[in-house]
Structure 1
Amino acid sequence: MYFAALLARTEDGWKASDTELDDVETLSDLTDLAREASVDEDTVLVFIEQEDAWFGVIRVDGEEDPRIFVSQASAAARSSYGEILLTDELLGREPGAEDSIAALEELVGLDGTEDSEPEGPGRSPGHSNDDDDDGPDPDAVPTGPLGDTGLLSDLGLPEAELLMLRTDALAEIADALGAAEDLETVR
C-alpha cells in the first residue's frame, strides 16, 4: 500500500494535498505534478511511502532540478514508484546505462556466450571468462538511504535526523516543518 501527498509552501504555511500517482511514469511527470501545486514557484515537497518499507521525499523549488531522498534504496528499487525516484544520476550511473545494459543482455545468452559463439575449450556452460566476475555489480542498488540528505535542512530537519527516521517518517518530517496537522488531514 502506498501513500503519496504534496506539501506546498505558501505565505500562510504549508498546504497539504493527497495525490494519485496512477498517471506518473517518470520523475519528470512527478516534478510537473509538484510544480502545478506550487504557489508562486515556492517549495513543494512530494512524499511517497510504502508501508514502512521505504519513503521518499522529492523537493521541487521553482524551475530548479528536483532534489531526492530515498530512505531504503534497495526496497524502493523493488517498487514501481521507487524506480521513478532512483534515477541514473542518483545511482551514480551514466544516463541511459540501463538501455545499454538491456541491449547487451539481448546479445549475450544466459550461458554467457554470444548467440553465434560456440562453447569452445575453456568455456563451460553458464561460465564466462570475464576476469571481473568478482567485482561489484554496476546495476546493484545500494541498501540504505540514498540521495540528498540535506534537502530539508533549511526547513528545520537536519540531515542526521532525516537519516534516523524509520517508521511514521512522513509524519515526523511534517511535524518538523510545522505541517503535521495538514498532512494528517490528507492521510
Structure 2
Amino acid sequence: MYFAALLARTEDGWEASDTELDDVETLSDLADLAREAAPEDDTVLVLIEQEDAWFGVVRIDGEEDPRIYVSDAAAAARSSYGEILLTDELLGREPDDDPDLDALDLDGTEDGEDEDEDDDTAAEAGASGEIVPHGPLGDAQVLDDLGVSEKQLRSLSEDAVTEIAESLGASEVLETVR
C-alpha cells in the first residue's frame, strides 16, 4: 500500500494535501504538481512511502531542481512510484545510457541467462531491468535545515513519513490527509 502527500511550508506553518500520483510519469511532472501546491515559491515536500518497503522525500524550493532521498533504491525500483524518483542523475548514469537491447533474447533474458532468475538478483533489478543499489540513495541532507538530520533520516524505517512530519511540526496536518 502506498501513501503520498504534499507538505507545503507557508507563513502560517505547514499545509498538507493528499496527492494522487497516477498521472505522474516523470520527476518533472511530480515537481510541477508540487509547485502548484505552493502559494509562492515556498518549500514543498513530497513524501511517498510503500508500507514496510521504502520511503522517498522530494524537496522542491521554488524553481530549483528537486532534491531527492530514497530509503532503499532497490525496493523503490520495483515500484512505479519509486521509479519516478530514481532518475539517471540520482543513479549516476548518463541519460543516453540505455540497456543493451541487442544482448536480449526474444524471451527478454540476456544471452546465456537462465529464465528463472535467483530472487536475490531480481531484487536488485528495477522494472527496466537495470541494476539498482540496495540501501539509501540521494541527498540525505535534504531535510537538515528543517530539523531532520542526515543521521535521523537514515535511521527511519517503517513509519518514516509520520516521523518526518512530527519532526517538522506537521504531524497534525499530515494526519488530516492520511
Instruction: Provide the TM-score with structure 2 as the length reference.
Output: 0.85
**Mapping 1:50-129, distance limit 5 Å:** 50-97=50-97, 100-105=98-103, 112=111, 126=112
* 1:116 counterpart residue number: none
1:161 positional shift: 0.3
C-alpha distance 111-66 of structure 1, shift in aligned 2 (>3 A): closer
- SS of 2:99's equivalent? helix
RMSD of aligned Cα (Å): 2.1
1:182 partnered with 2:173? yes
* 2:29 counterpart residue number: 29
* 1:118 counterpart residue number: none
1:178 positional shift: 0.6
1:39 positional shift: 1.8
Task: Flag structure 1 segments of 5+ consecutive residues without an equivalent.
Answer: 113-125, 128-136
1:106 positional shift: 5.4
* 1:162 counterpart residue number: 153
Per-residue Cα deviation, 1:114-148 (whole angstroms, up to 9, x for no partner): xxxxxxxxxxxx38xxxxxxxxx993211011000
Q: Which runs of 4+ in 1 moved over 2 A?
A: 102-112
Per-residue Cα deviation, 1:26-52 (whole angstroms, up to 9, x for no partner): 111100000000121110000111112
1:17 positional shift: 0.5
* 2:6 counterpart residue number: 6
* 8 Å contact from structure 2 (residues 103, 110) kept in 1: no
* 1:133 counterpart residue number: none
Amino acid at match of 1:13: G
* 1:149 counterpart residue number: 140
Instruction: Report the Cα distance in structure 2 between the residues aligned to 1:176 and 1:2, rounded to whole angstroms.
Output: 21
Amino acid at match of 2:9: R
Amino acid at match of 1:173: I
Per-residue Cα deviation, 1:18-76 (whole angstroms, up to 9, x for no partner): 01011001111100000000121110000111112111000000000000000111100
Amino acid at match of 1:171: T
Instruction: Report the Cα distance in structure 2 between the residues aligned to 1:180 and 1:88, rounded to whole angstroms.
Output: 32
Task: Flag structure 2 segments of 5+ consecutive residues without an equivalent.
Answer: 114-124
Who wins on radius of gyration, i.e. which is larger? Answer: 1
C-alpha distance 71-184 of structure 1, shift in aligned 2 (>3 A): same
Instruction: Report the Cα distance in structure 2 between the residues aligned to 1:48 and 1:104, rounded to whole angstroms.
Output: 35
Per-residue Cα deviation, 1:129-183 (whole angstroms, up to 9, x for no partner): xxxxxxxx99321101100000000000000000000011001000111101111
